[in-house]
Amino acid sequence: MIVHTGDGKGKTTAALGILLRAWGRGMKVVMLQFLKHRNARFGELRAAERMGVEVIPLGDGFTWTSRDPGKNQALARAGWERCRDRILAPEGAHDVIILDELTYPLIYGWLELDEVLETLRRRPPMRHVIITGRQAPQPLLDFADLVTEMRLVKHPYSEQGIRAQPGIEF
Amino acid sequence: MIVHTGDGKGKTTAALGILLRAWGRGMKVVMLQFLKHRNARFGELRAAERMGVEVIPLGDGFTWTSRDPGKNQALARAGWERCRDRILAPEGAHDVIILDELTYPLIYGWLELDEVLETLRRRPPMRHVIITGRQAPQPLLDFADLVTEMRLVKHPYSEQGIRAQPGIEF
């Protein structure tokens, strides 16, 4: 159980690196993505398609901008149900499950952390789960086996006005 | 020009994520790996083979354990020549070049940082270079556009005695 958190680049990217390694070994990988804009996952969606790996969008930034908190909560729940199905799927169904940007619905209070932890606890043995996103809550870090914080040291957007580069950041 | 540094996991892994995204977009990617043990790259080598991406080993940990500093330096130079060929290859030959663990020969003084920086400066425009490894020297960080520090927050080897997991960490 791995968490990639922090304000730097590389949280989703390192999860994609795990996806690549696991796929290289013939393991069964699935990635479920909360919140990410369609453009912001173009490279990985295309790669996954070429590799025959499932990458499942659970709604992009636009989906989640509703001013109706009930609607966001309902969407987050629906997304989470799909994650839970995979997390609890019978042994052998998945070796690696990536829950990309899962911290956001947790931070916004659209999902209950306790329910997420309880579900993770019940997963079959040797099912690796990788969770990415800023501000991972402390109980999630406590629960994780491996936590890396991606810390922003230098960023070209803010410092040089360089825009996000296709193939590199999305 | 991107640097992934720090003592946490995820430096090479995030570079592999960039490899995956770039490959998904049909970009030309090559990864040259200093120092990494054969076992420690099994997943990525297998994946790269399946994807038709070049991943070039420049000597594993065993290669570099010589007590003869001249031998290590010669090996580092030979590895660096291969990197330089790719960095300076004609426009269109490579879109993304990953120099994995390049910081180590720099730290050990087997390579001159000035020469590395000078070579990077001369690369064709829009050739992305990603350098990974601990303790990236400050002038390299100054030269980079994007720097992420992967900070170790929690690690299962030390804390729970869990060994590195195939498909996840290698």
Give residue-wise pLDDT tens across range A136-151: 999 999 999 999 999 9
Choose which CATH entry (1.20.120.420, 3.40.190.10, 3.40.50.300, 3.40.50.11270) describes domain A2-151.
Answer: 3.40.50.300
Instruction: Look at the alpha carbons of A151, A153, A158, A160 in this order and tell me if their dihedral is positive or negative.
Output: negative
Q: What is the pLDDT of residue A128?
A: 97
Closest CA to B48 of B14, B24, B20: B20
- Taking residue A109's Cβ as centre, other Cβ atoms within 10 Å add up to 12
**Secondary structure (DSSP) of A30-96:** EEEESS--SGGGHHHHHHHHHHT-EEEE---TTGGG-S-HHHHHHHHHHHHHHHHHHHTSPTTS-SE
Residue A125 forms contact with B (CB below 8 Å): no
- Taking residue B39's Cβ as centre, other Cβ atoms within 10 Å add up to 12
Instruction: Look at the alpha carbons of B131, B134, B139, B142 in this order and tell me if their dihedral is positive or negative.
Output: positive
Tell me which of A18, A44, A100 to substitute to probe the interface with B (most B C-beta atoms closer than 10 Å): A18
Q: What is the pLDDT of residue B70?
A: 82
Q: What is the pLDDT of residue B68?
A: 77
Task: Please report where in the chains the tokens 């592999």 appear, as a residue.
Answer: B16
Question: ipTM of this model?
Answer: 0.85
Residue B161 forms contact with A (CB below 8 Å): no
B122, with CB counted inside 10 A (0-12, 13-18, 19+), is exposed
How distant is the Cα of A121 from the closest Cα of chain B, in angstroms? 17
- Taking residue B40's Cβ as centre, other Cβ atoms within 10 Å add up to 17
* Positions in chain A whose pLDDT score sits under 50: none
Q: What is the pLDDT of residue B20?
A: 97
Alpha-carbon gap, residue A72 to A74, rounded angstroms: 5
3-state secondary structure of A158: helix
Alpha-carbon gap, residue B44 to A140, rounded angstroms: 28
- Taking residue A89's Cβ as centre, other Cβ atoms within 10 Å add up to 16
3-state secondary structure of A136: coil
pLDDT tens string, chain B, 170 residues long: the values are 999 999 998 999 999 999 999 999 999 999 999 987 767 778 999 999 999 999 999 976 666 666 777 888 888 999 999 999 999 999 999 999 999 999 999 999 999 999 999 999 999 999 999 999 999 999 999 999 999 999 998 877 666 777 788 888 88
**Residues of chain A contacting residue B22, judged by C-beta atoms under 8 Å apart:** 43, 167-168
Q: What is the pLDDT of residue B61?
A: 62
Are B96 and B28 in contact by the 8 Å Cβ rule? The answer is: yes
Q: What is the pLDDT of residue B85?
A: 97
Tell me which of B1, B7, B11, B13 to substitute to probe the interface with A (most A C-beta atoms closer than 10 Å): B13
Are B102 and B34 in contact by the 8 Å Cβ rule? The answer is: yes
Q: What is the pLDDT of residue A69?
A: 73
Closest CA to A103 of A66, A76, A131, A81: A131
Q: Where are the domains of chain B?
A: 2-150
Do residue A24 and residue B128 have CB atoms under 8 angstroms apart? no
Closest CA to B96 of B120, B126, B119, B116: B126
Q: What is the pLDDT of residue B64?
A: 67
- Residue partners of B35: CB distance under 8 A and separation at least 6: B58, B59, B60, B61, B63, B64, B101, B104, B105
CB-closest option in B47, B154, B155 to A24: B47
Of all residues in chain B, the one with the smallest CA distance to A8 is B148
May I ask the CATH class of domain B2-150? alpha beta
Residue A9 forms contact with B (CB below 8 Å): yes
